[in-house]
Amino acid sequence: MNWHKLIEQQSKATPGSAGNSLIPLPGRQLIQITGEEAKSFLQNLLTNDVNALQINQSQLSGFCNPKGRLLSVFQLIRRQDDFLIVLPADLAEPISQRLNMFKLRSKADIKLLQQHHVLGLVHPQAEPGTGENWQGKIIDQGLVIRQPGQTPRSLLIADETNIEALSSWLDKDWHLAPESEWQQHEIEAGLPIVFADSKEAFTPQQINLDLAGGVSFKKGCYPGQEVVARLHYLGKPSRRLFLGRLDGNKLPDINSTVTGADGETLGHVVQAQFTPDQSIVCQLSMKLSAAGKSALIGDQELESVTAFVDEPDAD
């Protein structure tokens, strides 16, 4: 079975099945960075400490504009001979182009990786890789990297030749699940993301990228670093990431407004997805002052709004 047939079969899958799930992620794409200066090139651009990455390890990171607004949030993976960026497919081309703008004379090559695919593994009954978050292991089917969250999950990077071997898992203890199931786990794990519709809408602190381990305050400069660091050391974020739940039959649009009962803007939607019981779970970038207030997205009232973490004191 090739990738396209696997995606076609996935379109018939239903969420909520028990056991181990194989989840192709066509909504994610890969950017490859190679060359002898690839590491230093990325170190000068991203919010996290690329120099700290070990081979077959990943980290959450961000890419900001000069005003400290996020152009993208992604996983950066270091392999033996290259780095991979895993990001939403609708941002792959523009982020690749933006990175190339910064390349100048750096000995680094940047390209979209077309023959590799991203899959999610939800494996409560199996252990395909390491048990430590963000750590990777090479298996016969590709590079598997453990992901944060209450449910055992891993990200799998596989090339076209691995897909047939992965398909054989479906004859054993695995079943196909829709991409929405993976997004639900990402939302509930508090892992932030930026899509094309929310590019430059949030600072790292407004979506908890710093609290999720995606910002280093000890590394050197990068675009927007002064703004991000100033807020960390001299101020306090007025907005943070919250988990919201509501009933409804329509997903809120990315970056749509969250309002109070009086029409006051309280925040914006980061991402949202249906759960197996057809309720909606969403990440919201909201004012800290909105805690405890009634909140609506359009005409839908949120049943609950919970902060992912308590606001820490600045170091």
How do the domains of the chain map onto residue ranges? 3-188, 238-309
What is the DSSP code (8-state) at residue 313?
P
Q: Are 246 and 280 in contact (CB under 8 A)?
A: yes
Q: What is the pTM of this model?
A: 0.95
Q: Is 173 exposed, middle or buried (0-12, 13-18, 19+ CB in 10 A)?
A: exposed
How far is it, in rounded angstroms, from Cα 113 to Cα 308?
A: 34
pLDDT in tens, 281-311: 999 999 999 888 899 999 999 999 999 987 6
pLDDT, residue 284, reads 98
The CATH architecture that domain 238-309 belongs to is Beta Barrel (2.40)
The helix or strand, by DSSP H or E, that contains position 233, with its residue range, turns out to be helix 225-234
Neighbours of 306 (CB within 10 A): 10
Residue 133 pLDDT > 80: yes
The helix or strand, by DSSP H or E, that contains position 241, with its residue range, turns out to be strand 239-247
Question: Residues 177-201: what's their mean pLDDT?
Answer: 97
Strands (E) in 8-65, as ranges, are 20-24, 28-34, 57-64
Q: Which CATH class is domain 3-188?
A: alpha beta
Q: What are the CA-CA distances from residue 93 to residues 21, 60, 160, 255, 269 (Å)?
A: 29, 19, 21, 21, 23
Question: Residues 48-73: what's their mean pLDDT?
Answer: 98
